[in-house]
Structure 1
Amino acid sequence: MDWTAVLLLGAALFAGAFVQSSIGFGMAVVAAPFLVMATPSLMPGALLVTSFSLPVVQLLHGPKQIAWRPLGWALGARLLLTPVGVAVVALLTVRAISVVVGTLILVTVAASVSALDLRPTPRNAAAAGAVAGVAGTASSIGGPYLALVLQHERPERLRATLAAFFLVGTSMAVVGLALAGEFSREQLLAGLAWVPFVVAGYAAAAPARAHLDRERLRRAVLVFCVVAGVSVIVRALVF
């Protein structure tokens, strides 16, 4: 494992943690393109390991206004579909997984800018959890779908609910991948090495949240994601 590359990728995790701390999701969406292009063998396990840290910090230090009912439906559906995500990782090549990651990033952007006026009904929450069971396990990108369902919740309630969803859902994904033999020691070590960068990103976002234009930041993140998603797909298909 190239530790120089791993440590340099810490900057992507820092930026992703800053974004997620500000708008509720975004760490995996921002960081995944860099990881897929630089160290594809570490995906998705290393990013899943790192994904534990930010929800823990958010739940310990942030408001605990969790929307329990939609969270329960989303987690139940995610548990049922996690084996499908594990099968995707086990059966596809690294190049194919890169295409999947790039495609899911573009789908996330499309969902985020859609005019769908979703409400946190059991059906919608379960559908978001089901998609996250596959996408979150195969690429570590699972939160934006539930964020779309919770779009009308207060920001504090949205962030707390998503943090709980990330924490439990990531645990499901890691256990599933480990049981299938798709979670390596290198992925564990790289993920642990990125934890300080994630904590630093969260700490940097805390004093900035009151002054940030969240909508402008959200638009900038979505533009970046379009460019990054297309780049990942093109690189996987051409090179």
Structure 2
Amino acid sequence: MTDWGVVLPLGLALFAGAFVQSSVGFGMALVAAPFVVVFAPDLMPGALLVTSFSLPVVQLVHAPADIAWRPLGIALGGRALLTPVGVAVVALMSVQAISVLVGALVLLSVAASVWAIEVRVSDRNAAVAGGLAGISGTAASIGGPFLALVLQHERPTRVRATLAAFFLGGSVLAVAGLLVAGQFTGAQLRAGLTWLPFMALGYAAAGPLRERLDRGRLRLAVLWFCTVAGASVVLRALLG
């Protein structure tokens, strides 16, 4: 049964996540997942995958189609190959273990951004990023940071458009895999659909500010926020 007293307030986390992703290209699940896994772990990862499918559609319709097609195709191939591993993680791991996985992925993503790992666009790097996203994106709905690192030296419009297309294709693969394995529930679908208006409002709020935001300050704020959220999720899971 869906607990609307929990689902509706969690929409605020989706609003914040959509605002961030609309501004820098990724981050919706990174911002929202720690809250969902703490307050409604039974909705992971399906409910977030519903929103991860929807926001890229809006982005691709309203933004320039400046897509890096070759890295995108290779990354989606890698994601398709390892999506079954992500499905197995969801089926076999406990809620506590998935909570630790979510928190660890958030912290890993922050560390990679802070250390500014030097990664260039190549077929191998795109395939590795896609494969990692096949596991983490399916199990925890967090798959964007890996390909974002590969694309970090591309122009912002290309990063946003390529990641949006990657999220769209990856979410379809993940939901299909979870459905086949019986790991996608009606409650997850209802929650994800309920969060769509919050997501749309976050995207709309970022629109007028997208080109005027101080990206350095926004990035720093997101990193600090995600560090605290990720660490809190891990500690709560380990101590609980």
Q: TM-score category by the smaller chain?
A: over 0.9
The aligned runs of 1:50-89 (5 Å cut-off) are 50-89=51-90
Instruction: Name the aligned partner's letter for residue 175 of structure 1.
Output: A
Q: Which runs of 5+ in 2 are unaligned?
A: none
In the alignment, what sits opposite 1:30?
Answer: 31
Q: Indicate yes or no: 2:174 matched with 1:181.
A: no
Moved over 6 A (4+): none
Instruction: Name the aligned partner's letter for residue 203 of structure 2.
Output: Y
Counterpart Cα distance in 1 of 2:211 and 2:143: 26
Instruction: Name the aligned partner's letter for residue 161 of structure 1.
Output: T
Residue by residue over 1:173-203, the C-alpha shift from the partner in whole angstroms, topping out at 9 and shown as x without a partner, is 0000110010000000000000111011000
Q: Indicate yes or no: 2:144 matched with 1:138.
A: no
The aligned runs of 1:130-209 (5 Å cut-off) are 130-209=131-210
Counterpart Cα distance in 1 of 2:193 and 2:29: 15
Instruction: Name the aligned partner's letter for residue 77 of structure 1.
Output: G
Quick check: 1:53–1:199 contact (8 Å CA) kept in 2? Answer: no
Indicate the SS of the match to 1:32. Answer: helix
Counterpart Cα distance in 1 of 2:48 and 2:98: 14
Superposed displacement of residue 212, structure 1? 0.5
Counterpart Cα distance in 2 of 1:216 and 1:145: 22
User: Which shifted more, 208-217 or 29-38?
Assistant: 208-217
In the alignment, what sits opposite 2:120?
Answer: 119
Counterpart Cα distance in 1 of 2:90 and 2:204: 33
Superposed displacement of residue 115, structure 1? 3.1
Q: Which runs of 5+ in 1 are unaligned?
A: none
Counterpart Cα distance in 2 of 1:117 and 1:100: 25
Superposed displacement of residue 128, structure 1? 0.4
Counterpart Cα distance in 1 of 2:85 and 2:194: 28
Aligned-pair RMSD on alpha carbons?
0.7
How many residue pairs were aligned? 239
Give the fraction of aligned pairs with identical amino acids, expressed as a percent. 69
TM-score using structure 2 length:
0.98
TM-score using structure 1 length:
0.99
Indicate the SS of the match to 1:141. Answer: coil
User: Which shifted more, 59-68 or 211-220?
Assistant: 211-220
In the alignment, what sits opposite 1:93?
Answer: 94
